[in-house]
A and B are shown apart, each in its own frame.
Chain A
Amino acid sequence: MREFAYVRAADVSGAVRLAGPRARYLAGATNLFDLMREEVETPELVVDISRLPLSAVEDLPGGGLRLGALARNSQVAADDRVRRRYPVLARALLKGASPQLRNRATVGGNLLQRTRCRYFYDLGAPCNKRVPGAGCAALDGFNRAHAVLGASRSCVAVHPSDMCVALAALDATVNLTGRDGERSVPITDFHRLPGETPHQETVLREGELVTSVDLPPEQPGHGDYVKVRDRASYAFALVSVAASLRVENGRITRARVALGGVAPKPWRAYAAEQLLAGAAAGEAAFGRAAEEAVAGATPLEQNAFKVELARRLVRRTLIELAGRS
């Protein structure tokens, strides 16, 4: 780990003032400290925000819920309101990492979690995300775990978060504070696709700080988060699905489908949702939606299975959710 200066921020505005181009905010540390040890991240200044008063989970007027950026994953997953109103989020959080990591990892940190592509971690391998223009070792290397949707020739790494997939399905909003004041960004616009600039992963501006995430009011229906991985627990997703479904009189009146493990960002399957809206709830519609969810997939040499797996997982999840209606 490179040497760095460490300061503890006293308040949000102080933190934002401190954070220059070579600075990083430190919250739960579970991802950043690891990347710093590998010297993938080499900040000169570390602004510790872990003691800022941003850890509350609060009801919003109108029925939504605000998750403080420093709320711990375990805290959010155990929150009664989240469990009752947003079970898809509770389940996604509980399927991520381990209990110990969830006790440290925060909402904001999870949004900014960086890819687990091992070539990104390995300073000896070319990686456009780490060193723009260096090339991508995964394109023709070990890419079983990599993206089948939304990737580019520059970068095929996937976003590793479970939480964000649920947030995408929930139409959450990310609240930010920067030098120029506050703004809000829909979760689905928060992460960027790699294109030619895979090192730019989010729309965050320099020094901008995630302060909270807002969940819109609970929608009637049923939601779930399902995750397939290489072992029973404590592993990143091969494919995951966050979905919710409202069925009235046999017709689907509202559907949300998001995929994890398949793309450089939490992947909302809008086209699949459109197919579902208004359709008769049944295997035919769910099958079509599953096809649509992976339409345009461009698998690499080792990860074609993800397309089929995602298709099956979407279909099965929708069938199960319809069964609960």
Chain B
Amino acid sequence: MNVIARGFSLATRAMGKVARLLPDGRHDPLSTRPGEIGRDVDRLDGPAKVSGGIRYTADHAPARLAYAVPVPSAVAKGRITAVDSSRALAAPGVVLVMTHENAPPMRPTGAYATLKGPVAAAAMSLPIMNTDRVFWHGQPVAVVVAETQEQAEHAARLVKVEYAPEPARLSMTDEAAYTPAHSVLEESKTVVGDVRAGLAGAAVTVRGVYTTPLEYHNALEPHATVAAWDGGDLTVHDTAQYPYGVKEMLAKKFGLPLSRVHVRAPYIGGGFGGKTPAWPHVALTVAAAALAGRPVKLALSRTHTFHMTGGRAPTRSSIALGADERGRLTAIVHDALSTCTTDEFAEAAIASSRHLYACPNIAAHQRVVRVDRIQNAFFRGPGVTPGSFALESAMDELAWELGLDPLDLRLRNEPGRDPVSGHRFTSRHLREAYALGAEAFRWSERAPAPRATRDGHWLVGQGMAAAVNPDTVLIAAVKLRLSADGTVTIHSSTNELGAGTSTAQTQAAAQRLGVPMHKIRFLHGDSDVAKTRIPGASAATTTLASAIWSARDELVRELLKLAEETPLAGRRVEEVETRDEGLFTRDGRGATYRRILEQAGRDHVEVTGKSALPYQTIKRATSTYGAHFAEVRVDADTGEVRVSRWVGAFDGGRIVSPKQAVSQMRGGIIQGIGMALMEETLFDERSGRIVNASLAEYHIPTHADVPDIEVRFVDLPDPQTPLGAKGIGELGIVGVAAAIANAIYHATGTRVRDLPITPDKLLQI
């Protein structure tokens, strides 16, 4: 069973509902048809974005707005013994100070990341600010509300909190590790065949330990919430990747019916998973607005985004690979360690090792340590991104041991079926991706030995890595409204993170309905439209396409009922096509939408469409695949690394909106460059403080760190998915760090197994 589908169906079952399934064998007719799909289109929100015209969350300023600033805890664990708000309250402009002593009750909810119901967006189940307990360093222990941002910021520093500290667990150690009941979307422990025998019988083995540090998303837009109560109604602008989940969470926390909570999140300034769960400040803003009796805005400072939202957990992977003399894998052992909190969110670093290569003997084991930290978060390719650094580095090491080209080694281990489940793939075109990428990169020209190419004081090397990331269709509904003038408006509760969802869906809907793009408006980010669970998982494109497909069928059904006076009278849904702005039979008889509505005397028709999980993707394995080819230059004296050339080739099914798909892959690769070379959260294990909670000291790539990146797509439709597409939002980052580490080895002869690969690690002292 598709791993992601299992994770989410678990969650769905917990709610007592079963996801709709598409009947076996129903292929999307659009998946192979030319049209708007696959065309290069400028972003539809482009004019607004380049002119400063989009209102992001923190840009909202309702009348009588007050400004809130949270106070972070100064200990990692313990109890609050006293809070003295008097100086803060006496400071100019201060409206109130909210602490656990006066905060309104907020009912605890389940933590979203555990994927155990209820599926609200809450990041944690902990009762923040309804308890005197401190669970991590930086936990909000008070919120100051003032007339201006400046006043609130200063007054927040005047709140004096005293603690009875307790010993905290802050380190990821083997002694405290255990096997979680579930890892995210993967089994925690997998044993296929006999790895001991596989290693014992191997002609060549490699072993290594690979680590990745705590990393933060650092979307350029910090998290923010603007909350306003109006009678019993609550309206919240929020930087939510999952607006419907925030609506559910707030309804539960504040005991409101769902219909009274309105979450608005049309545009998000980048998310990457960091805005999938609702961090404590969201509910605290709502609580502060209730206490203040006026709208409140809480925009986290960059520093507070490190303290009050979660990042990617650190990982340590021990890998052992065995291969026969011809380079066929005989064993894959992947023992991974990571961290979680009270809420068990175990990122599966083992994912690639379970799905990427044919191997008769696989043992993958994910363990976690509970630490006194803020909950770790989904982050572009959770688990698979750090884990693939380990596996794909080890594969490179194996290739050197075998004396094989690393691409050749991978081709020799390309599986025909999923190596763990034995399921067939709905489609897998990794071979084609390898070929596309290798050709564009001119991989065959690579020097066979390491440290063989020098350009002045730069050592030049090339490396590659493969990528796999799961694909799924999630739960969404859209409302589709056809107006008498022939225009179409599609309302959805998902949002535009910058992935290009609104443009891609407009393209797909245009072709689905046979309506030109300029007559379609895709509206997003209103939680009230319909239950929509697309928190991430690269699932927006296919999930929304599925819902719009279903809406199209509903629309045809409705229109046929209205079409008594047209040549369509008596036709069934299957007999008509949506094209040329109307419904037509294959023999060309039919009517335009405008005519059908006009003759029926209707101003509009509105229908709802719901996504459905294609049955075949449950029976089979559906994933996306990629191959990265990287060139680096390493300063032989200083250890500085510059990425000089890149080709990424990907199998993401049919590409709906290529211009934006290319951008999204580049974005993932660039985040991967950051992960490989510079990103590291300095977590002080003495105190639990994050030391470099700043964009000046947590380095992300600048313009100067990024070369031109060439992206190629196999662009073959998956026969089982809506539009023939597969979700690619996360795929780009997977494998990038390994490709760079492998290129650095080729350039220098030095293998670095601990990220990030900063200059000091290449000085060989």
Q: Report if A and B touch in the complex (beta carbons < 8 A).
A: yes
Interface residues of A (CB under 8 A from B): 1-3, 37, 39, 116, 118-119, 121-125, 137, 140-142, 144, 228-236, 238, 304-305, 308-309, 312-313, 316
Chain B: interface residue count, which band?
A: 35 or more
A141 touches B691 (CB 8 A): yes
Contact pick for A39, options B157, B693, B758, CB 8 Å: B157
List B residues 684-714 near A (Cβ within 8 Å).
684, 686-687, 689, 691-694, 696-697, 699, 701-705
**Chain A contact residues: over half helix, strand or loop, or mixed?**
loop
B759 touches A309 (CB 8 A): yes
Tell me if B763 is interfacial: C-beta within 8 Å of chain A: yes
Bound Cα distance from A12 to B642, whole angstroms: 47
B691 touches A232 (CB 8 A): no
A144 touches B760 (CB 8 A): yes
List B residues 726-765 near A (Cβ within 8 Å).
758-760, 763, 765
Bound Cα distance from A232 to B670, whole angstroms: 14
Bound Cα distance from A211 to B765, whole angstroms: 45
Bound Cα distance from A290 to B701, whole angstroms: 31
Which B-chain residue is minimally distant from A238 (CB atoms)? B759
Which A-chain residue is minimally distant from B680 (CB atoms)? A230
B154 touches A3 (CB 8 A): yes
List B residues 415-461 near A (Cβ within 8 Å).
457
Q: How far is the CB of A12 from chain B (nearest CB, A)?
A: 30
- Given the complex, which residues of B lie within 8 Å of A144, measured CB to CB? 760
Q: How far is the CB of B748 from chain A (nearest CB, A)?
A: 15
> B74-91: contact bitstring with A at CB < 8 Å (1 yes, 0 no)?
100000000000000000
A231 touches B154 (CB 8 A): no
Tell me if B150 is interfacial: C-beta within 8 Å of chain A: yes
A122 touches B689 (CB 8 A): yes
- Given the complex, which residues of B lie within 8 Å of A309, measured CB to CB? 638-639, 759-760, 763
A141 touches B705 (CB 8 A): no
A304 touches B765 (CB 8 A): yes
Q: A232-B642, A312-B638, A312-B763 are in contact. List 8 more A-B contacts (CB 8 A).
A: A1-B153, A118-B694, A119-B691, A231-B701, A233-B703, A305-B765, A309-B760, A316-B457
Bound Cα distance from A174 to B749, whole angstroms: 48
Which A-chain residue is minimally distant from B643 (CB atoms)? A232
> B354-385: contact bitstring with A at CB < 8 Å (1 yes, 0 no)?
00000000000000000000000000000000
* A/B pair count, beta carbons within 8 Å: 87
7 interchain pairs, CB-CB under 8 A: A140-B686, A142-B692, A228-B640, A230-B678, A305-B760, A309-B638, A312-B637
B696 touches A1 (CB 8 A): no
- Given the complex, which residues of A lie within 8 Å of B689, measured CB to CB? 122, 124-125
Q: How far is the CB of A126 from chain B (nearest CB, A)?
A: 10
Q: How far is the CB of B144 from chain A (nearest CB, A)?
A: 14
Which B-chain residue is minimally distant from A312 (CB atoms)? B637
A142 touches B765 (CB 8 A): no
- Given the complex, which residues of A lie within 8 Å of B699, measured CB to CB? 230-231, 235
A316 touches B691 (CB 8 A): no
Bound Cα distance from A312 to B693, whole angstroms: 31
Q: How far is the CB of B390 from chain A (nearest CB, A)?
A: 23
Contact pick for B638, options A2, A3, A228, A231, CB 8 Å: A228
- Given the complex, which residues of A lie within 8 Å of B686, measured CB to CB? 140-141
- Given the complex, which residues of B lie within 8 Å of A304, measured CB to CB? 765
List B residues 22-62 near A (Cβ within 8 Å).
none
Tell me if B92 is interfacial: C-beta within 8 Å of chain A: yes
- Given the complex, which residues of B lie within 8 Å of A305, measured CB to CB? 759-760, 763, 765
- Known contacts A37-B153, A142-B684; decide if A231 and B677 are in contact (CB<8 Å): yes
- Given the complex, which residues of B lie within 8 Å of A228, measured CB to CB? 638-640, 759
B765 touches A308 (CB 8 A): yes
A230 touches B692 (CB 8 A): no
Tell me if B682 is interfacial: C-beta within 8 Å of chain A: yes
A230 touches B704 (CB 8 A): no
- Given the complex, which residues of B lie within 8 Å of A2, measured CB to CB? 154
Q: How far is the CB of B140 from chain A (nearest CB, A)?
A: 15
Q: How far is the CB of B169 from chain A (nearest CB, A)?
A: 19
- Known contacts A1-B150, A141-B686, A142-B691; decide if A232 and B704 are in contact (CB<8 Å): yes
A232 touches B702 (CB 8 A): yes
A233 touches B702 (CB 8 A): yes
A118 touches B692 (CB 8 A): yes
B153 touches A3 (CB 8 A): no
Q: How far is the CB of B365 from chain A (nearest CB, A)?
A: 31
Contact pick for B691, options A1, A3, A118, CB 8 Å: A118
> B624-649: contact bitstring with A at CB < 8 Å (1 yes, 0 no)?
00000000000001111010000000
Q: How far is the CB of B632 from chain A (nearest CB, A)?
A: 12
Q: How far is the CB of A17 from chain B (nearest CB, A)?
A: 28
- Known contacts A124-B689, A231-B705, A234-B702; decide if A1 and B759 are in contact (CB<8 Å): no
Which A-chain residue is minimally distant from B75 (CB atoms)? A124
Bound Cα distance from A236 to B699, whole angstroms: 11
- Given the complex, which residues of B lie within 8 Å of A313, measured CB to CB? 637-638
- Known contacts A309-B638, A313-B637; decide if A232 and B150 are in contact (CB<8 Å): no
Bound Cα distance from A230 to B704, whole angstroms: 12
